[in-house]
């Protein structure tokens, strides 16, 4: 491998700010266009497969270069006009300038390439199941808050790509319109209540984030994340003002996060006024979702995943014993309870466990055990053999220890739900080395107009 000085010596043809004409071969798993100049890999920002573009080199490493587009000479047949005017400056919708049907093909290819390069699998990946909605689909928003230096005007929006500079977004077409109105109220009236925006560099200011959970039926739970350890009068008055202004807001909470961290929410949340949760309906079940519990941001696409898993169990088992691990509010366990003999659910977030108990009671589900604690530790203590184990871990995937225990406890099928193709491929490779076989991998488009993709893998033990 060449060191950087050797690279520069052997690759004098390329320098920062050089311009070239390039053809984009495909998109990577992070949404960049892959092209080659003299056989050397160059990643191009905001490119589409088959674009012919003039590019400018912005960074050179010994293995690749990064470039931006100067001119689109011949646009890809899949390139379209983005429906959001902020697409180029906002980092939320990287692929919005690409036809949606072709986005699905790009994501299929990303999963297939990742399975091959990391997992060593030559498996044919089907097209992702499309999201039922491609606009207004995002039912959880998390806006960082800051303020301008001189006018002290409140800013709220998403970060520019590869930065912590906030794009002040007043209209976002991928989220329900009510969210725009709530954020606009925060922007316009926070100063009236003496609420300051957060300064990330200095760790000063009060309001760090506004988090909104919106249900398909139109209810909204607003959470103000503050740089403090307890509520104060001005903030309580502001929370009440938000609640009074919008009939669609069923509750306003305060989350306390005074730590120097990139984590959005702290561990403590207090409901100031109204309800501390919203209700969501998936399949024929009712779920309670609070400010600090996990639930999919795209409920209608999530419903497709729950139906897929439920149908697989129904068509392949007769009242099996099911383990729902990394369960959150036990959404999978509750959805498949009707076709299971017994469901055992394990989740370490105690607030989620509490809501899971309430949700099971609301839905009159008798055949479910709900446990609080670490999944790996629970696996190690459990002696029962399960017909089906549903794994839905965080983005970082499972530990080897958890996979070992799941393998030991499963006597037939592991259903692995993942939002990260790379960690899924890694974990599937490990399970294959233990003797498992990968029956299928089905992608689902949970995050329209981004390079992210959800997958459900069926694994035979």
Every domain of the chain with CATH number 3.40.50.150 lies at 105-132+298-460
User: Do 418 and 454 meet the contact criterion of CB atoms below 8 Å apart?
Assistant: yes
Does CATH place domain 105-132+298-460 in 3.40.50.300?
no
pTM summary value = 0.92
pLDDT on residue 10: 47
**Residue among 210, 294, 297 nearest 254 (CA):** 210
Q: Which CATH class is domain 140-282?
A: mainly beta
Catalytic residues: 419
Every domain of the chain with CATH number 2.40.50.140 lies at 4-74
pLDDT on residue 208: 97
pLDDT on residue 377: 86
pLDDT on residue 154: 94
Whole-Å CA distances, 393 to 48, 53, 198, 390: 31, 40, 31, 10
Whole-Å CA distances, 427 to 122, 397, 414, 436: 16, 7, 12, 11
User: Do 428 and 121 meet the contact criterion of CB atoms below 8 Å apart?
Assistant: yes
Q: Per residue of the chain (461 residues), what is the pLDDT tens digit?
A: 455 555 555 455 789 999 999 999 999 988 899 999 988 999 999 999 999 999 999 999 989 999 999 999 999 999 999 999 999 888 789 999 999 999 999 999 999 999 999 999 999 999 999 999 999 999 999 999 999 988 889 999 998 877 888 989 999 999 999 999 999 999 999 999 999 999 999 999 999 999 999 999 999 999 999 999 999 999 999 999 999 999 999 999 999 999 999 899 999 999 999 999 999 999 999 999 999 888 899 999 999 999 999 999 999 999 999 999 999 999 999 999 999 999 999 999 888 999 999 999 999 999 999 999 988 888 888 889 999 999 999 999 999 999 999 999 999 999 999 999 999 999 999 999 999 999 999 999 999 999 999 999 999 99
Specify the fold of 4-74.
OB fold (Dihydrolipoamide Acetyltransferase, E2P) (2.40.50)
Ordered strands of the 166-168 beta sheet: 166-168, 154-159, 140-147, 207-214, 220-226, 249-256, 268-274
Gap between the terminal Cα atoms of the chain: 40
d(CA 390, CA 323) in angstroms, rounded, equals: 6
pLDDT on residue 4: 52
pLDDT on residue 161: 79
Every domain of the chain with CATH number 2.40.50.1070 lies at 140-282
């Amino acid at each position: 491998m060449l060191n950087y000085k050797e690279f520069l010596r052997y690759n004098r043809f390329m320098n920062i700010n050089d311009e070239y004409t390039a053809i984009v071969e495909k998109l990577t798993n992070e949404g960049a266009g892959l092209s080659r100049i003299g056989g050397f890999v160059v990643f191009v920002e905001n490119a589409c497969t088959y674009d012919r573009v003039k590019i400018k080199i912005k960074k050179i490493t010994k293995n690749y270069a990064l470039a931006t587009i100067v001119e689109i000479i011949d646009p890809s047949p899949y390139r379209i006009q983005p429906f959001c005017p902020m697409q180029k400056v906002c980092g939320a919708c990287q692929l919005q300038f690409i036809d949606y049907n072709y986005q699905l093909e790009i994501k299929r290819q990303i999963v297939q390439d990742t399975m091959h390069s990391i997992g060593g699998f030559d498996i044919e990946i089907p097209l992702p199941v499309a999201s039922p909605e491609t606009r207004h689909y995002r039912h959880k928003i998390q806006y960082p808050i800051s303020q301008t230096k001189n006018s002290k005007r409140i800013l709220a929006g998403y970060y520019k790509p590869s930065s912590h500079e906030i794009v002040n977004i007043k209209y976002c077409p991928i989220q329900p319109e009510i969210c725009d109105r709530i954020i606009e109220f925060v922007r316009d009236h926070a100063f009236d209540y003496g609420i300051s925006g957060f300064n990330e560099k200095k760790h000063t200011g009060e309001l760090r984030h506004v988090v909104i959970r919106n249900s398909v039926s139109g209810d909204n739970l607003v959470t103000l994340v503050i740089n403090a350890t307890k509520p104060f009068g001005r903030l309580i008055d502001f929370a009440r003002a938000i609640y009074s202004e919008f009939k669609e807001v069923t509750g306003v909470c305060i989350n306390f996060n005074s730590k120097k961290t990139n984590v959005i929410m702290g561990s403590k949340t207090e409901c100031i006024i109204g309800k501390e949760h919203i209700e969501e309906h998936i399949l024929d079940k009712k779920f309670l979702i609070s400010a600090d519990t996990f639930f999919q941001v795209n409920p209608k696409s999530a419903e497709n995943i729950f139906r897929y898993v439920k149908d697989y169990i129904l068509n392949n088992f007769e009242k099996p014993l099911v383990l729902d691990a990394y369960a959150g509010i036990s959404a999978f366990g509750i959805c498949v309870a009707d076709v299971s003999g017994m469901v055992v659910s394990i989740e370490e977030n105690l607030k989620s466990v509490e809501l899971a108990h309430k949700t099971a009671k609301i839905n009159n589900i008798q055949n479910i055990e709900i446990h609080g604690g670490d999944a790996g530790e629970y696996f190690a203590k459990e002696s029962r053999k399960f017909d089906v184990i549903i794994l839905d871990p965080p983005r970082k995937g499972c530990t080897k220890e958890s996979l070992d225990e799941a393998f030991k406890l499963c006597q037939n099928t592991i259903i692995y739900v993942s939002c990260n193709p790379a960690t899924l491929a890694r974990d599937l490779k490990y399970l294959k080395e233990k003797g498992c076989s990968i029956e299928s991998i089905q992608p689902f488009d949970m995050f329209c107009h981004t390079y992210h993709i959800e997958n459900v893998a069926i694994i035979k033990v």
